[in-house]
Structure 1
Amino acid sequence: MSGQVTEPEQRAGGGRRLVRAWHGFRAALWRDLFVMVREVPRVLAQTVVQPFFMLLVMGHVLIQIGYVREDYAAILLPGILALTTFLGALQNTALGLVFDFSVTRELEDRLLLPAPLYTVALAKMAFGALRGVLSGVVIVPIGFLVLDLWWTPGQMLAALPLVVLGACCGAAAGLWLGTAVESRNIAVWFAIAVTPLTFTGAIQFPWPMLSDTLWFQMLCALNPLTYLSESLRAVTVPAAPHIPLPIGLTVLVFSVVVAGALGIRGFRARALG
């Protein structure tokens, strides 16, 4: 019958949709990257200052005065890297969305792209993840200098994909937060979210060593940042107690999928609302 769509035509239509989605994603991401090049110092100042002082005080000063053991620096650096990467991606994604939706209205232009809405949401998530990776890459040499520590090339190569995955997890959480919270309340909710994430993310301590404080260990287990910190310790300080790497990777991937799906749904609701 002439009204029926053949299988080759269906495949061709699906291919065109994928091409439009890719072009929309690339256009939205490229615009953000172009703006970021001019704002790199501000971006780094937002995400690196706090981790730098945590490294200085907790990893250098406390060791110098004998308050913690000398090997504590090796435990701390993976946690600080996880914190910088995750929160850098979360902060830039969430606050960027709020700013675009309520102040500049730039997203209204991007929503006119001949591409599905989810491509714009994915572009914002990818941009936030890139900022998180940038922050993490910058904090590592700072940590080496402050802590007088060094990782082998093999350890650095093993940590890099974990940094990328952690940045994607933070960006997905930022997409969810940035679309779920009203613009006027974002500062309050951001402060409420960041503080618990920071102190229950196993940044300053290995998670298995909390076995004598079971209630706090279970609380930390609910935080995806814990699994990023522990996964980075697994590849940089394998002799230290840590959550097995396969478990950490599984939880991080699951968190990206769930938070990303919720964030895309929230983005669609805000865009069409």
Structure 2
Amino acid sequence: MANKVSTSTVFWIMVKRDLMIQLRNWSEFIFRVAMLPFILILTYGYVLPKIGILSPDFPNQMFPGMVGMSLLITGIHGTAVPLSMDFNNSREIEDRLQAPVSIKVTAWSKMVVGIIESWIGALIVLPVSILFMGSYLEFSMSGFDVLMLVVILLVSSITSATLGLLVGTIVKPMQIAAMFPGFLMPIIFTGAIFFSWDSLSAIPWLKGIVLLNPLVYINEALRSTMIETTTAMPLWLSVGGIIIFTIIMGTTGMKRFKKMAIR
């Protein structure tokens, strides 16, 4: 009698295979993940403060937003693009769906790869930021802040993967080129990277609209734990927003995944 393969074994085999594929293209991955943060940090965190257009405090305020942006965008891309390609081009997903496990296991394996990539994206920001903005950065973190930072990064990486799952079931491969200017750019520039949510009080209608952007909650949570500020969104509200968005996007994305898997 053949030994029954456990669900966890199948799950980690799927994850390992996707990570191995990414490892083969590691240079392309690093370039893709690092280029946007590099350009933004170089421009807004180094050049503009150096020439006096932005205040010396601006890079310190921007740094948490760069971490959140890199984490979210990398996680979305790492989940959505392979998923879209598998469903619409290679149809490799069909082989995985034949495995003797729940359909959800396949979706979770894709999300875990996105979560791992999102952490890598966040870590890549650190050396770039230190290189160009080191003289401007001032951290003020207690033991509780460090603990909360780890929790926020973990939950936010899950958020990025759930959004990637949802996007991957909507966007077709031929639409991926339009995803950056049409979807990711609005998320980036309304995501409280270069400003705090509270600073939008001068523009009330925009302050309300940006609450539909999950990146706002991620960056505000990071800002309140990483630097000393009184303008960040209350931590309970930002963390609550992250969790609510994660649940909504994860539930919707999983429903769409299951629907596409059984069609």
Normalised to the residue count of structure 2, the TM-score between the two structures is 0.90
Question: Equivalents in 2 of 1:51, 1:240: separation in Å?
Answer: 26
Tell me what 1:143 maps to: 129
Which shows bigger deviation, 237-246 or 198-207? 237-246
| Aligned residue type for 1:74 | N
User: Shift in Å at residue 47 of structure 1?
Assistant: 1.6
Tell me what 1:89 maps to: 75
| Aligned residue type for 1:61 | V
Question: Equivalents in 1 of 2:203, 2:138: separation in Å?
Answer: 32
Decide whether the 8 Å contact of 2:138 with 2:227 is kept in 1. Answer: no
Which shows bigger deviation, 157-166 or 175-184? 157-166
Tell me what 1:160 maps to: 150
Tell me what 1:55 maps to: 41
Which shows bigger deviation, 58-67 or 235-244? 235-244
Question: Equivalents in 2 of 1:96, 1:150: separation in Å?
Answer: 38
| Aligned residue type for 2:97 | L
Q: Which of 200, 207, 212 is the matching residue for 1:217?
A: 207
Q: Which of 160, 165, 173 is the matching residue for 1:175?
A: 165
Question: Equivalents in 1 of 2:62, 2:252: separation in Å?
Answer: 32
User: Shift in Å at residue 212 of structure 1?
Assistant: 0.8
Tell me what 1:46 maps to: 32
Question: Equivalents in 2 of 1:89, 1:122: separation in Å?
Answer: 13
Tell me what 1:103 maps to: 89
Decide whether the 8 Å contact of 1:144 with 1:150 is kept in 2. Answer: no
Which shows bigger deviation, 228-237 or 254-263? 254-263
Normalised to the residue count of structure 1, the TM-score between the two structures is 0.87
User: Residue deviations 1:54-90, cap 9 Å, x none?
Assistant: 0010011110111111111110111111111000100
User: Residue deviations 1:227-258, cap 9 Å, x none?
Assistant: 11111101111324101111111111111111
Could you say which structure has the larger radius of gyration? 1
| Aligned residue type for 1:263 | G
| Aligned residue type for 1:256 | T
Question: Equivalents in 1 of 2:79, 2:159: separation in Å?
Answer: 11
| Aligned residue type for 2:195 | F
User: Shift in Å at residue 190 of structure 1?
Assistant: 4.6
2:61 pairs with 1:75: yes
| Aligned residue type for 1:193 | F
Cα RMSD (Å): 2.0
Aligned length: 256
User: Shift in Å at residue 157 of structure 1?
Assistant: 5.7
2:193 pairs with 1:203: yes
2:223 pairs with 1:237: no
Tell me what 1:12 maps to: none
User: Residue deviations 1:164-188, cap 9 Å, x none?
Assistant: 2222111111110110233433433
2:251 pairs with 1:252: no
Tell me what 2:106 maps to: 120
User: Shift in Å at residue 20 of structure 1?
Assistant: 4.2
User: Shift in Å at residue 123 of structure 1?
Assistant: 0.8
Question: Equivalents in 1 of 2:124, 2:45: separation in Å?
Answer: 17
Decide whether the 8 Å contact of 1:178 with 1:186 is kept in 2. Answer: no
2:258 pairs with 1:272: no
Mark the CA change 1:151 to 1:44 in structure 2 (over 3 Å): closer, same or farther.
farther
Unpaired runs of at least 5, structure 1: 1-16
Mark the CA change 1:156 to 1:65 in structure 2 (over 3 Å): closer, same or farther.
farther
Unpaired runs of at least 5, structure 2: none
